[in-house]
């Protein structure tokens, strides 16, 4: 925690109590002499009072002595510059400033030129304050330093600094190689630290986004200090969105940052939807009182555990604070009834987390005493505690623990399955591992979450004796995704729909790497087969499906023609029915590719050529790859446009199903669903508009009211009765 003496010093200065201020200054000089910013801020406050300049000068000379003993030469230069502004010079200060500058910046070849140009060496004796300030500005402008141009150029980095020529060269983000006069640069350029949010946004945006997620309070601190330490929330949002956070992530991020800031005594957050935020460096409060106050607000055990974890983030590595938190957790553990096993597990894990003990060993006695530990593990909602309890189950109950954990894992729980697999691999027990993986790969739709987890591990080469054939994995993943999504939508199963989203992400991860590898391992017939699976897949949204199709067509451009050559049931192979609006969408997309995307891509290729050696030019290869993707997409669109036949309301039949029909169906379980059969560009899953070329669409063609339709999907037979046929084109 920060030293409260600094707050006392500030209060003494505000009260104009010179004696108390001097006493506290001397105490802090003994205890915290390295806090140069604190002393400089206090000196400014003292110097503002009547007759305070002399006192501030004397006190700063004391700090200078401490810094000199510690070889803090750069801080010493800062302090001497401040002394030049508030204290008279008898010649000693000028000499001390020059000597400290030479020592602090010994690696800079231009240091003598800067001392001379600023006037610190050889300048007018009465102008030391201005000369010292000029020197400080010059020293900030060194090669590699990040700067901000105050009048419009924005963020940049100093590429060259040439004091002998009176020039410097800055690579601004908006203009590289910009030359500036040295005096103008010293006035117009603000030196930015490497961790400044503007610097990170311009040069290390990925790092900034990760930092925002991992350390929200630190990013909030940097944002508020960029705004002067005091600003409304909307201004903070303007600083962080979209460079550090996407607009859609702001609300969740602010909720977490606000929670942490509320628990930190250096922050003050006002009321309302646009609260005023104030951060005071060194702000202090009684840690115990603050903790007990927040604990009194917690309504139940989970809330109390969350409060202790929040305070643990504030405590960091402070042993005393963490011990206090651990004692609180132990107290609540002792108060938890023995019958509340899940509660005791949660408190036990928190105690181990706070005092640094082994959480697996801590849970051992609880799991050993449980007649059947499976309900206990099922009752743990959070993944972390459940995984720790699973490890304890395996290690403390060697006779029945592995079998119990296998049973829990096969209930489609990837967290427990991962522990089971990890322990099996560590023991080199491949037989136990196969007991888990065998059922998963034999019947993936039964355990879609486990299938997603097991497949990702398979692709990483985690499973011994199970090679990953990218084509087979892709084919199976598409089939499983189609069935899981269908079943999830049919019965409204949120877990199966979430599993479908995970499988979709598996197929599109890392720029569809799995599909790319599958295409490299197959021929045009294999590509055609996957195109068919993609076209009929109910679990893929339009954009992911398009990306996967592009991967297929880049590797096998003729696969589309081969796929279109197959019979399509009621629709002739030379025609594709679609609405006029759907056809217009295809034309607009193709026009955009031809007249906007391709010319822009050609410019990208030309710019990339100028970067040099094409064999090592990543920008060039990326631009050429994009060119291939655009060409393949345009070819596919042209083919569809050429084969397009408009669906008009007058050609749609209502006595039997045809293209354009709206059909109401009922399955064997009595569940009713309505589909409209239109062309490929008209598909809208949310409105139940499906492609008439799909297996379901083709099986409905020609059917009349009262007819039964039987459809084979993923090896299962589904029966539907046609209840009503209407015109779906209006």
- Following DSSP, what letter does each residue of 36-98 receive, concatenated? HHHHHHHHHHHHHSTTHHHHHHHHHHHHHHHHHHTT-HHHHHHHHHHHHHHS--SSHHHHHHH
pLDDT band with cut points at 50, 70 and 90 for residue 571: very low
Distance CA 498, CA 539 (A): 10
Q: Lowest-pLDDT range, 218-222, 376-380, 570-574?
A: 570-574
Q: 141-192 and 649-727 share one CATH topology?
A: no
pLDDT over 90 at 264, yes or no: no
Q: How confident is the model at residue 105 (pLDDT cuts 50, 70, 90)?
A: confident
Residue 282 reports pLDDT greater than 60 = no
Please name which of 349, 322, 321 lies closest in space to residue 333, comparing C-alpha atoms. 349
Is the alpha carbon torsion for 572, 578, 579, 585 positive or negative?
negative
Contacts of 101 (CB under 8 A, 6+ apart): 77, 111, 114, 115, 120, 135, 139
Structure confidence at residue 14 (pLDDT): 81
| CATH among 3.40.50.800, 2.60.40.180, 3.10.50.30, 2.60.40.650 for 649-727 | 3.10.50.30
| Predicted confidence (pLDDT) at residue 380 exceeds the cutoff of 90 | no
Instruction: Give the pLDDT confidence score for residue 712 in this predicted structure.
Output: 63
Q: What is the mean pLDDT of residues 158-185?
A: 83
For the chain, give the mean pLDDT: 85
Q: What is the mean pLDDT of residues 453-458?
A: 95
Instruction: Kindly indicate the confidence band of residue 254, based on its pLDDT and cuts at 50, 70 and 90.
Output: very high
- Looking at per-residue pLDDT, the higher value among 120 and 557 belongs to 120
Mean pLDDT of 294-319: 81
661-667 and 672-678 beta bridge pairing: antiparallel
For 415, half-sphere exposure in the C-beta direction (CA atoms, 13 angstrom radius) is: 14
Q: Which CATH class is domain 567-646?
A: mainly alpha
Residue 530 to residue 547: CA distance in whole angstroms: 13
User: Per-residue DSSP letters for 294-341?
Assistant: HHHH--SHHHHHHHHHHHHHHHTT-HHHHHHHHHHHHHHHHHS-TT-H
List residues bridging with 689 in a β-sheet: 676, 684
CA–centroid distance for 83 within its chain: 46
- Cα–Cα distance for residue pair 556/19, rounded to 1 Å: 85
Of 556, 583, 560, whose CA–CA distance to 573 is shortest? 560
Reported confidence tier of residue 572, pLDDT bands at 50, 70, 90: very low
Lowest mean pLDDT among 350-354, 594-598, 644-648, 723-727: 644-648
What residues have CB less than 8 Å from 700, skipping those under 6 apart?
A: 657, 661, 663, 675, 677, 709, 722
Is residue 518 scored above 90 in pLDDT?
yes
| Residue 611 banded pLDDT, cuts 50, 70, 90 | low
Instruction: Please state the domain extents for the chain.
Output: 1-138, 141-192, 207-279, 286-357, 469-555, 567-646, 649-727
- pTM exceeds 0.85 for this model: no
As a whole number of angstroms, the distance between CA 242 and CA 637 comes to 34
pLDDT mean over 528-555: 87
Indicate the CATH number for domain 207-279.
Answer: 1.10.10
User: Cβ(568)–Cβ(529) under 8 Å?
Assistant: no
Joined together, the tokens standing for residue 456 give: 């990702």
One DSSP character per residue, 658-701 reads -TTEEEEEEETTS-EEEEEEE-GGG-BGGGTEEETTSHHHHHHT
**Which residues on adjacent β-strands are paired with residue 718?**
711
Q: How far apart are CA 285 and CA 241, in angstroms?
A: 32
**Residues 443, 539, 673, 699, Cα dihedral to 10°:** -80
Q: Residue 567: its pLDDT value, please?
A: 44
Does pLDDT of 584 surpass 60? yes
Answer whether residue 193 shows pLDDT above 90: no
| 414-450 pLDDT, tens digit each | 999 999 999 999 999 999 999 999 999 989 999 999 9
Whose structure tokens read 């679609």?
578
Q: Give the per-residue pLDDT at 143.
A: 83
Residues 6+ apart with CB under 8 A from 568: 693, 698
Give the single-character DSSP code of 649.
Answer: G
pLDDT at residue 672 is higher than 70:
yes
Which band of pLDDT confidence, cut at 50, 70 and 90, is reported for residue 715? low
Range name among 28-37, 39-48, 519-528, 613-622 with the lowest pLDDT average? 613-622
Which is more confidently placed, 356 or 8? 356
> 63 or 31: whose pLDDT is higher?
63
pLDDT at 1 over 70: no
Q: Give Rg (Cα) of the chain.
A: 35
d(CA 137, CA 277) in angstroms, rounded, equals 31
Least-confidence region, from 48-57, 486-495, 617-626, 681-690 = 617-626
Question: Residue 404: its pLDDT value, please?
Answer: 94
Predicted confidence band at 617 (pLDDT cuts at 50, 70, 90)?
low
Predicted local confidence at residue 574, as pLDDT: 52
pLDDT at 118 over 70: yes
Are 146 and 112 within 8 A, CB to CB? Answer: no
- The fold of 141-192 is SH3 type barrels. (2.30.30)
């Amino acid at each position: 925690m920060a030293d409260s003496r600094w707050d006392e010093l500030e209060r003494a200065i505000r009260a104009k109590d010179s004696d108390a201020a001097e006493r506290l200054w001397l105490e802090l000089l003994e205890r915290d002499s390295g806090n140069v910013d604190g002393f400089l801020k206090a000196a400014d406050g003292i110097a503002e009072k009547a007759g305070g300049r002399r006192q501030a000068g004397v006190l700063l000379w004391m700090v200078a002595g401490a810094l000199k003993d510690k070889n803090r030469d750069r801080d010493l230069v800062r302090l001497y510059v401040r002394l030049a502004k508030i204290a008279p010079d008898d010649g000693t200060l000028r000499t001390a400033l020059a000597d400290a500058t030479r020592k602090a910046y010994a690696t800079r070849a231009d240091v003598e030129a800067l001392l001379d140009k600023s006037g610190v060496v050889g300048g007018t004796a009465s102008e030391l304050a201005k000369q010292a300030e000029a020197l400080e500005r010059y020293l900030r402008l060194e090669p590699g330093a990040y700067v901000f141009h105050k009048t419009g150029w924005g963020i940049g980095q100093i590429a060259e600094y040439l004091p002998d020529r009176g020039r410097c060269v800055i690579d601004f983000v908006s203009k590289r190689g910009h030359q500036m006069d040295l005096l103008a640069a010293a006035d117009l350029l603000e030196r930015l630290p490497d961790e400044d949010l503007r610097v990170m946004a311009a040069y290390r945006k990925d790092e900034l986004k990760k930092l925002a997620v991992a350390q929200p309070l630190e990013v909030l601190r940097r944002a508020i200090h960029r705004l002067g330490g005091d600003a409304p929330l909307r201004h903070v949002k303007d600083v962080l969105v979209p460079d550090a956070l996407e607009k859609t992530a702001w609300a969740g991020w602010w909720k977490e940052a606000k929670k942490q800031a509320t628990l930190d005594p250096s922050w003050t957050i006002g009321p309302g939807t646009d609260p005023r935020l104030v951060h005071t460096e060194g702000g202090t409060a009684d840690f115990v009182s603050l903790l007990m106050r927040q604990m009194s607000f917690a309504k139940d055990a989970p809330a109390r555990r969350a409060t202790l974890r929040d305070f643990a983030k504030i405590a960091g590595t402070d042993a005393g604070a963490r011990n206090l938190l651990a004692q609180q957790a132990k107290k609540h553990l002792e108060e938890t009834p023995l019958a509340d096993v899940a509660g005791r597990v949660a408190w036990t894990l928190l105690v181990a987390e706070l005092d640094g003990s082994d959480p697996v060993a801590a849970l051992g006695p609880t799991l050993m005493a449980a007649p059947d530990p499976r309900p206990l593990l099922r009752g743990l909602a959070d993944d972390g505690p459940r995984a720790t309890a699973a490890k304890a189950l395996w290690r403390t109950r060697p006779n029945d623990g592995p079998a119990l954990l296998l049973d829990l894992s096969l209930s489609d729980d990837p967290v427990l399955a991962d522990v089971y697999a990890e322990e099996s691999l560590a023991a080199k027990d491949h037989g136990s591992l196969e007991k888990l993986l065998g059922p998963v790969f034999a019947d993936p739709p039964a355990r879609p979450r486990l299938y997603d987890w097991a497949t990702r591990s398979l692709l990483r080469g985690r499973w011994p004796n199970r090679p990953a054939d990218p084509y087979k994995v892709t084919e199976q993943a598409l089939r499983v995704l189609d069935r899981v999504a269908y079943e999830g939508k049919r019965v409204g199963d949120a877990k199966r729909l979430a599993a479908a989203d995970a499988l979709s992400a598996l197929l599109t991860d890392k720029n569809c790497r799995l599909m790319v590898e599958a295409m490299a391992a197959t021929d045009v017939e294999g590509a055609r087969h996957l195109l068919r699976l993609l076209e009929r897949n109910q679990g893929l949204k339009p954009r992911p499906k398009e990306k996967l199709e592009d991967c297929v067509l880049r590797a096998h451009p003729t696969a589309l023609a081969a796929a279109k050559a197959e019979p399509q049931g009621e629709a002739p192979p030379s025609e594709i029915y679609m609405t006029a609006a759907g056809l217009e969408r295809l034309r607009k997309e193709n026009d955009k590719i031809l007249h906007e995307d391709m010319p822009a891509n050609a410019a990208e290729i030309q710019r990339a050529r100028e970067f040099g050696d094409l064999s090592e030019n990543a920008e060039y290869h990326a631009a050429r790859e994009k060119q291939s993707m655009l060409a393949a997409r345009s070819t596919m669109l042209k083919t569809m446009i050429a084969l397009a036949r408009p669906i008009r309301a007058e050609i749609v039949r209502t006595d039997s199903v045809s293209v354009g029909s709206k059909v109401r169906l009922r399955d064997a379980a009595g569940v009713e669903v309505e589909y409209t059969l239109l062309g490929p560009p008209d598909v809208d899953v949310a409105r139940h508009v499906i492609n008439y070329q799909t297996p379901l669409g083709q099986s409905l063609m020609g059917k009349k009211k009262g007819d039964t339709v039987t459809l084979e999907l993923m090896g299962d037979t589904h029966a539907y009765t046609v209840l009503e046929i209407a015109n779906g084109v209006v």
